[in-house]
Structure 1
């Protein structure tokens, strides 16, 4: 499929017809290069969460961390890993409120306060309580980051770049994982507490690098429009999407669609409360997808491999610290490569095909892993245990092509503006609940039934596949505003193409004629 066909497939024929047909790639256009570099940097903010998962995975293989923490096992180990989800769960509703009240960019900036506080507590901890408190605050940082950055990227990206850039956001998770895995592999030879303090301190490295993108990123034009600041919203579209062309049909089309979408939402949804997410057939469908996707992203078996790779490898006879940390390092590199491949091709392949191929692949891999692990438990045959390793890579490869890039981007796409922040918060909280369950319960069940626990996830993967097959629609080929047609029917299509004035997200009248703004 050629580039033009991919463009048309990603945004639809109408918008594709308004895109400049000059043959100049985006990296040779200053306005798009500047915008994309800013948004690309933001994907590194998700690295802190990924760093945390692999950090805790790797620290369990370090003797000095084990001594410092008192060799945690079972419920206590589960709590140490899961505590980040506690504060994140409480914080997400606050993040949703901030997104709509003070803007996407200012909300994102709050995450930096939490990450500095958390990393300082972890790295300088003088007892296990201080370390766990630092992990608690990491949850707040993750909530502000994952609750604001994807929305800012989704609402500011150039139309044909939105799918890729939003899908890239969650791929930053593996950048953090990769950094954590190889940092721990390097510090494992230090024969004191700095073997784990250095990796804990470096948790803030990638967010610091991403600060450049945060400072240069613009505010969302959709948020500006919802706040009666249509002139500023138009100025953004002209500057960043149209390259300064004041009479650009693309900028005019986007502004009109944003305005009409906000008016439609104000007409049919007089408020934007949490209950509104369950009051219409379309929103019920969106909420079902949002909640199940958040749960499915954690309950497909990835929680065992992500947070408890060391005990999984030990269960099949791979007990060396060097081997465990090296396998973890190569696994994170593999994850990054596969997730980036999927993110850059999300418009080419479409969302549903990626989801379904991922599910079938994970199910097949987990069945094989369960069989090999069970065989090793009965025979203690070393080659059988080693055979688990390539299938862990295969399993993670299938996970990466859908659940890494689409967990956040698909959720952001399906929600209309006035509920997008709450929709993402709902999705992230469902993920956190599932993650808390995984990280707290998994070590207990692994201790109790070992490899037999893998069979449970085989059954869950069957349920996940069936659910996605019947209830997850294809969103490729629609703009953010046109997404309402999928969930709300033909009335949304008719309203979006009509002209008029706009009411803000909270129901207030903007009272500005679109034509007047376009000429201003």
Structure 2
């Protein structure tokens, strides 16, 4: 370990100095192009989730699907939407343990197999019961890859590329949404049940496209170190980060940091969810994780994502073609905003994105609520149409922070032995909030329509306050050193550990290590 195995983490050579010495390796270096191809291929799993969300919204615009499902409304429509999330919840019961024990890639392979079965079954469904079973299986597949792919990306990414690559993962959600909306728009020309069967079958397309990148993708070097496979981890870092130079300063620096951090933790297999509340730092991580999950589902986006057709109907836009065109345009806008924000996250930081997101969504949602109420009173078409640009602004606010950082941020702030469980908990909380939304939203929209929007105004205000006071800035920290923003500083001397208190509220004003 280059003679530093007895060193404390903060006394190890700074990783950014090793990166400066490695400056010849740019984004265009062949080995990094290959690595980033693997990482971005994994982002297609997020695209698969986005395909589903937009698919459910699009299917509600198809008369053939409405007829097949007996024109679902209220609680029945809510149940049809949440069975996907229930499948994800079931998978989350064991996905973290699977990832920690057998590696980060095994869950991805299982997910691909399951989605192939689910897509075929849903496309061929002869009745509503089989369709529901297929949707549940699709949710199980999503549970496998959504709890694993972001962690693998985080742990294999080249250090200076990590903020952008990890933020781009969830941006893939909008790529899937866009493709789904386009497919559903094309399906309007079909007169048979193939109008909904073809989009259902295409759920397997994006995961299949990701398979070549998955096959090439290395296993997490951090997981290898946690299993005492040190030489394999070093060889992997050398191959993917240093073009095969096993003695490169960057390889030594990363191995020393990873080893120092992992020695101070329990083995991944012995970590438990109870550890999330045992220390002040972990309790803060937990609060951030749960609040992000809440805001990602309860800021009003759930109403628009799944029930956009209903919302447009309340402001006088009832044509199926018009609704789907607006949906496609929204996905293009969302994708552009999310990708641009992800590309600049390393320069402007995460706290600024969170703040800007809260302000944009709050202002636009106030105007959406006011215009919707005004249209309900007088029915003027111009007022209804005026809602549309503010829907775009609202989702732009969501896209610049809650899309790229919902997953990237928890993957960064949780230490290795709890990273899988931290991400799993993020998804579990998001699924629970989304499932509750799925059941309540259609009932509330039918009962009180635009007045229901007032609930989400309060959530948006809370989001802005919480992000300002609770979320630390991680820009400028290596993956292992982010822990100093939350924990007591771990000192490792001859295999023994002791602690030195640090300021857990460090933010962008803190010295970057």
Same fold, TM-score > 0.5, yes or no: yes
CA shift, 1:293, in A, is 0.6
Whether contact under 8 Å (1:295, 1:430) holds in the other structure is yes
Q: 5 Å matches for 1:403-422?
A: 403-422=402-421
User: Residues 96-147 of structure 1: CA distance to partner in whole angstroms, max 9, x if unpaired?
Assistant: 0011010001122111122112111111111111111111111111111110
Q: 5 Å matches for 1:205-354?
A: 205-266=205-266, 271-354=270-353
Determine the C-alpha separation between the residues in 1 that align with 2:479 and 2:493. 18
Q: Do the aligned partners of residues 427 and 340 (structure 1) sit closer, same or farther apart at CA in structure 2, a change above 3 Å counting?
A: same
Give 1:169's aligned residue. 169
CA shift, 1:468, in A, is 1.3
Q: Secondary structure at the match of 1:28?
A: coil
Say whether 1:473 aligns with 2:454.
Answer: no
Bigger shift: 303-312 or 240-249? 240-249
Q: 5 Å matches for 1:61-210?
A: 61-210=61-210
User: Residues 151-205 of structure 1: CA distance to partner in whole angstroms, max 9, x if unpaired?
Assistant: 0000000001111111111111111100000111111011111111111111111
CA shift, 1:90, in A, is 2.1
Q: Secondary structure at the match of 1:158?
A: coil
Determine the C-alpha separation between the residues in 2 that align with 1:473 and 1:223. 26
Q: 5 Å matches for 1:473-512?
A: 473-489=472-488, 491-492=489-490, 495=491
User: Residues 219-255 of structure 1: CA distance to partner in whole angstroms, max 9, x if unpaired?
Assistant: 0000000001001011111111111222211110100
Whether contact under 8 Å (2:13, 2:253) holds in the other structure is no
Give the TM-score, by structure 1 length: 0.91
Q: Secondary structure at the match of 2:147?
A: helix
Give 2:374's aligned residue. 375
Whether contact under 8 Å (2:285, 2:413) holds in the other structure is yes
Determine the C-alpha separation between the residues in 1 that align with 2:111 and 2:117. 10
Determine the C-alpha separation between the residues in 2 that align with 1:213 and 1:143. 19
Bigger shift: 269-278 or 380-389? 269-278
User: Residues 80-107 of structure 1: CA distance to partner in whole angstroms, max 9, x if unpaired?
Assistant: 0111111211211311001101000112
Give 1:515's aligned residue. none
CA shift, 1:22, in A, is 6.7
Determine the C-alpha separation between the residues in 2 that align with 1:257 and 1:21. 17
CA shift, 1:337, in A, is 0.7
Q: Do the aligned partners of residues 263 and 21 (structure 1) sit closer, same or farther apart at CA in structure 2, a change above 3 Å counting?
A: closer
Moved over 3 A (4+): 20-25, 498-503
Determine the C-alpha separation between the residues in 2 that align with 1:168 and 1:99. 22
Whether contact under 8 Å (2:338, 2:403) holds in the other structure is yes
Q: Do the aligned partners of residues 468 and 197 (structure 1) sit closer, same or farther apart at CA in structure 2, a change above 3 Å counting?
A: same
Determine the C-alpha separation between the residues in 1 that align with 2:439 and 2:266. 42
Q: Do the aligned partners of residues 315 and 13 (structure 1) sit closer, same or farther apart at CA in structure 2, a change above 3 Å counting?
A: farther
Whether contact under 8 Å (1:51, 1:180) holds in the other structure is yes
Whether contact under 8 Å (2:104, 2:219) holds in the other structure is yes
CA shift, 1:412, in A, is 0.3
Bigger shift: 258-267 or 151-160? 258-267
Determine the C-alpha separation between the residues in 2 that align with 1:93 and 1:223. 20
Give 1:7's aligned residue. none
Whether contact under 8 Å (1:180, 1:199) holds in the other structure is yes
Whether contact under 8 Å (1:260, 1:501) holds in the other structure is no
Determine the C-alpha separation between the residues in 1 that align with 2:313 and 2:264. 57
Give 1:6's aligned residue. none
Whether contact under 8 Å (1:263, 1:502) holds in the other structure is no
Q: Do the aligned partners of residues 13 and 369 (structure 1) sit closer, same or farther apart at CA in structure 2, a change above 3 Å counting?
A: farther
Give the TM-score, by structure 2 length: 0.92
Q: Do the aligned partners of residues 369 and 67 (structure 1) sit closer, same or farther apart at CA in structure 2, a change above 3 Å counting?
A: same
Give 1:361's aligned residue. 360
Give 1:509's aligned residue. none
Q: Size of the alignment, in residue pairs?
A: 486
Give 2:509's aligned residue. none
User: Residues 482-504 of structure 1: CA distance to partner in whole angstroms, max 9, x if unpaired?
Assistant: 11100003x23xx2xx575699x
Structure 2 unpaired stretches of 5+: 1-11, 498-513
Determine the C-alpha separation between the residues in 1 that align with 2:493 and 2:391. 54
